[in-house]
């Protein structure tokens, strides 16, 4: 089947072409998430640019390490994958699904947060980056922030699953502007913790009005529009998906968030600041790799018959968007990091290598997005586990405080290898083989395992 959304627009027809692009929910959701990534990256760059002017390198390194720890605990326990996958298949039960995911995520974040705090001394040979987490008060605040971050990420999954991803950049713009103001305002009163407080206090405040919008207007509208439409997964199917699907989602997030924690236990606070200055924008580039994957899962769940066509279109958009972005980052990294002063340009080679890893990451994520629709959760967990083990193993083996780019080499090498391994499966997804008689492909669309 030809894909009309991929036809080249005639000269002078850009506005009409743009309208056609945005009329396709697959691209509309994806572009909204990409816009969110662009805004978050730009305002995040401003946030991290301002930080070194108000906080010394040691405090900056400690704050970014603590921030990564909070993001790890809150992110590794989130259930975005479940919301994105099953909200399109719910109507009357959407509210119950969202509240259940919120409750499970909060409980998991609290438990994992406590476990992280009581095991700090086994994370590496140097935990000076986390010395300000000692004590009941700092520990309780750490857990509260992790819970808030878990809910924040789940909230974005709700927007995406409801096909209202356009709200994600709106909410994140408000948050990013607020944290940018706070990081400067809090420097005097909280010189050692101002960066972390500026990041998470706005999250805690914004959760209230944003969820009032979700539960008060969006979920009722979704329920009314989708009552009686399409396939409906049972509670048993959703629970089965959760059992193995959570493992895949957790391993995916850990690949991004666990690495900086491990690295922080091998570096001094000042050297960790140089690493984080490259790692943070590198991981922001990953948002571009994830957006089309999430949108593909949503649209594939709404209409499984168009999965092959949607995957093909998403792959082409991925190449069109990420190749120029990669070239730009590789060229501009030394200049961009030099702006920060304090020798942060030492992280430029690391950022350049991380940018090269984005395209193979995107290929992997697209394949995983299609696997979610087909409920192939065990295969997802296997792929994510191999990727996490490979990256962590190579990072620990190659880490060198004098040559931080070796961390990027580990990330690039593993993602290239995994992308090459899944490429035949992705090709089959794009061009599914149809047995005689037009029966199912046997890909296990109903196979929750």
Q: Return the number of other C-beta atoms located less than 10 Å from residue 170's C-beta.
A: 15
Cβ-based burial of 14 (10 A; exposed 0-12, middle 13-18, buried ≥19):
exposed
Q: How far apart are CA 442 and CA 434, in angstroms?
A: 9
Contact 272, 64 (CB under 8 A): yes
Nearest of 197, 210, 179 to residue 40 by alpha carbon = 179
Contact 147, 106 (CB under 8 A): yes
Q: Return the number of other C-beta atoms located less than 10 Å from residue 399's C-beta.
A: 18
Rounded to 5°, angle at Cα 61 from 58 and 65: 140
* The pLDDT value given to residue 439: 41
Domain range annotation of the chain: 24-430
Q: Return the number of other C-beta atoms located less than 10 Å from residue 212's C-beta.
A: 10
Q: Which residue has the tokens 């407080």?
A: 197
Q: Which pairs with CB-CB distance under 8 Å and at least 24 residues apart come from 213-216?
A: 213/167, 214/98, 214/155, 214/158, 214/159, 214/162, 215/95, 215/98
Q: How far apart are CA 165 and CA 180, in angstroms?
A: 23
SS (H, E, C) 322-344: HHHHHHHHHHHHHHHHHCCCCCH
Q: Return the DSSP state at 56.
A: -
Contact 370, 344 (CB under 8 A): no
Instruction: Put residue 228 in one of left, alpha, beta given phi > 0 → left and psi -120 to 50 → alpha.
Output: left
* The pLDDT value given to residue 440: 41
Global pTM reads 0.66
Output phi, psi for 9, to 5 deg. Answer: -75, 145
* The pLDDT value given to residue 16: 58
Q: How far apart are CA 116 and CA 169, in angstroms?
A: 31
| DSSP track, 62-130 | HHHHHHHHHHHHHHHT--HHHHHHHGGG-STTHHHHHHHHHHHHHHHHHHHHHHHHHTGGGS-S--GGG
Q: How far apart are CA 426 and CA 367, in angstroms?
A: 6
Contact 278, 351 (CB under 8 A): yes
Nearest of 366, 350, 359 to residue 408 by alpha carbon = 350
Nearest of 261, 321, 251 to residue 292 by alpha carbon = 321
Q: Which two tokens stand for residue 186?
A: 């809090």
First-residue to last-residue Cα distance in the chain: 30
* The pLDDT value given to residue 28: 59
* The pLDDT value given to residue 448: 45
Q: How far apart are CA 365 and CA 332, in angstroms?
A: 26
The distance of Cα 370 from the centroid of its chain, to the nearest Å, equals 17
Q: How far apart are CA 168 and CA 170, in angstroms?
A: 5
Nearest of 82, 22, 86 to residue 301 by alpha carbon = 86
Q: Which two tokens stand for residue 28?
A: 């509309």
Nearest of 21, 33, 25 to residue 225 by alpha carbon = 25
- Give the dihedral of Cα atoms 27, 31, 32, 34; nearest 10 deg: 140
pLDDT along the chain (449 residues), means of 10: 41 51 56 64 71 74 82 86 80 86 94 87 58 75 94 90 82 90 86 87 95 92 70 72 75 79 78 80 76 72 76 83 88 81 78 92 89 85 91 87 87 94 90 51 43
């Amino acid at each position: 089947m030809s894909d009309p959304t991929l036809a080249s627009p005639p000269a002078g027809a850009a506005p009409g072409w743009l309208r056609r692009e945005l009329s396709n929910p697959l691209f509309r959701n994806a572009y909204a998430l990409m816009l969110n990534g662009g805004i978050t990256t730009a305002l995040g760059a401003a946030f991290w640019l301002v930080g070194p002017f108000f906080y010394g390198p040691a405090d900056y390194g400690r704050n970014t390490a603590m921030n990564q720890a909070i993001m790890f605990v809150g992110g590794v326990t989130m259930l975005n994958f479940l919301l994105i996958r099953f909200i399109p298949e719910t109507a009357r039960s959407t509210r119950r699904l969202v509240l259940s995911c919120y409750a499970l995520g909060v409980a998991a974040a609290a438990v994992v947060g406590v476990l992280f705090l009581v095991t700090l001394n086994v994370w590496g040979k140097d935990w000076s980056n986390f010395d300000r987490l000692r004590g009941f008060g700092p520990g309780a605040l750490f857990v509260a922030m992790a819970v808030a971050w878990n809910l924040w990420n789940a909230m974005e999954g709700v927007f995406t699953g409801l096909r209202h991803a356009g709200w994600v950049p709106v909410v994140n713009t408000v948050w990013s502007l607020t944290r940018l103001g706070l990081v400067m305002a809090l420097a005097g009163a909280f010189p050692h913790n101002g960066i972390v407080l500026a990041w998470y206090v706005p999250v805690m405040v914004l959760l209230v009005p944003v969820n009032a919008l979700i539960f008060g207007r969006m979920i009722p509208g979704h329920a009314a529009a989708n009552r009686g439409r399409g396939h409906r997964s049972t509670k048993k199917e959703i629970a089965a998906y959760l059992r193995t699907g959570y493992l895949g989602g957790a391993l995916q997030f850990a690949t991004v968030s666990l690495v900086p924690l491990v690295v922080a236990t091998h570096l001094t606070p000042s050297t960790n600041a140089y690493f984080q200055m490259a790692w943070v924008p590198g991981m922001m580039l990953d948002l571009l790799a994830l957006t089309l994957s999430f949108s593909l899962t949503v649209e594939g769940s709404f209409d499984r018959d168009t999965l092959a066509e949607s995957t093909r279109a998403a792959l082409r958009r991925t190449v069109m968007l990420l190749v120029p972005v990669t070239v730009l980052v590789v060229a501009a990294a030394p200049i961009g990091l030099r702006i920060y002063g304090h020798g942060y340009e030492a992280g430029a080679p690391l950022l350049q290598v991380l940018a090269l890893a984005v395209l193979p990451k995107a290929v992997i994520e697209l394949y995983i997005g299609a696997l979610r629709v087909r409920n192939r959760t065990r295969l997802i967990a296997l792929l994510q586990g191999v990727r996490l083990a490979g990256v962590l193993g190579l990072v620990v083996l190659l880490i060198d405080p004098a040559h931080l780019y070796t961390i990027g080499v580990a990330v690039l090498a593993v993602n290239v290898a995994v992308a090459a391994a899944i490429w035949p499966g992705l090709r089959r997804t794009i061009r599914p083989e149809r047995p005689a008689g037009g029966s199912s492909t046997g890909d296990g669309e109903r196979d929750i395992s």
